[in-house]
Amino acid sequence: MKINSLAIEIDGIDKEILRDLMEDARKPILQIANKIGISGAAIHQRLRKLEEAGVISGSKFVINNKVLGYKTMAFVGIYLDKASSNSDAVRELKKIPEVLECHYTTGNWSILVKIICRDNEHLMQLLNKKIQPIDGVSRTETFISLEQQIERQIQL
């Protein structure tokens, strides 16, 4: 692994380690080490360097929202009455647990959020009672996802 001023360069071994862990973050390090042909200590050392360089920022479990009863995913474009309202609006959006992602965007909306709801009624309540009343929000535009067809990380 080499670090230059613009980006980090990772070698084939780093990529192999990352591919294995992106597939299953709980895969045993020794299993990866045996597959690649290096020691477990070398894998740990490389992972520590990748973390220090910011390539890896932790690991997490993926929750199946539908199993928990959240069947409606939507994207909401939020129009702000002025750009200076952005930080206040984001602070309020962070308080809403159904907001999974929040992006400051170019184009028509100031903010684009990804939200998860139990159903369309829950979505309507969320929009009417929590998102639209936020100071600075002038209006919203909602797109319901019928089916997520691709979900992945960058390929290495």
What is the CATH classification number for the domain harbouring 19? 1.10.10.10
103 located within any domain: yes
Mean pLDDT of 137-146: 97
pLDDT at 6 over 70: no
130 shares its domain with 78: yes
pLDDT at 64 over 70: yes
pLDDT at 83 over 90: no
85 located within any domain: yes
Mean pLDDT of 46-52: 93
34 located within any domain: yes
Lookup: tokens for 55: 């390539």
107 shares its domain with 44: no
15 located within any domain: yes
16 located within any domain: yes
**For residue 58, which of 97, 16, 21 has the smallest C-alpha distance?**
21
* pTM for this prediction: 0.83
Q: Return contacts of 114-119, CB within 8 angstroms, 24+ apart.
A: 114/73, 114/74, 114/75, 115/73, 115/74, 115/75, 115/76, 116/65, 116/70, 116/72, 116/73, 117/70, 117/71, 117/72, 117/73, 117/74, 118/69, 118/70, 118/71, 118/72, 119/71, 119/72
Mean pLDDT of 16-40: 94
pLDDT at 97 over 80: yes
**For residue 34, which of 51, 15, 17, 48 has the smallest C-alpha distance?**
17
77 shares its domain with 42: no
The CA distance from 60 to 53, in Å, is 19
The CATH number for 119's domain is 3.30.70.920
Q: Which domain holds residue 19?
A: 2-52
79 located within any domain: yes
pLDDT at 142 over 60: yes
67 located within any domain: no
pLDDT at 5 over 60: no
- Domains of the chain: total: 2
pLDDT at 59: 84
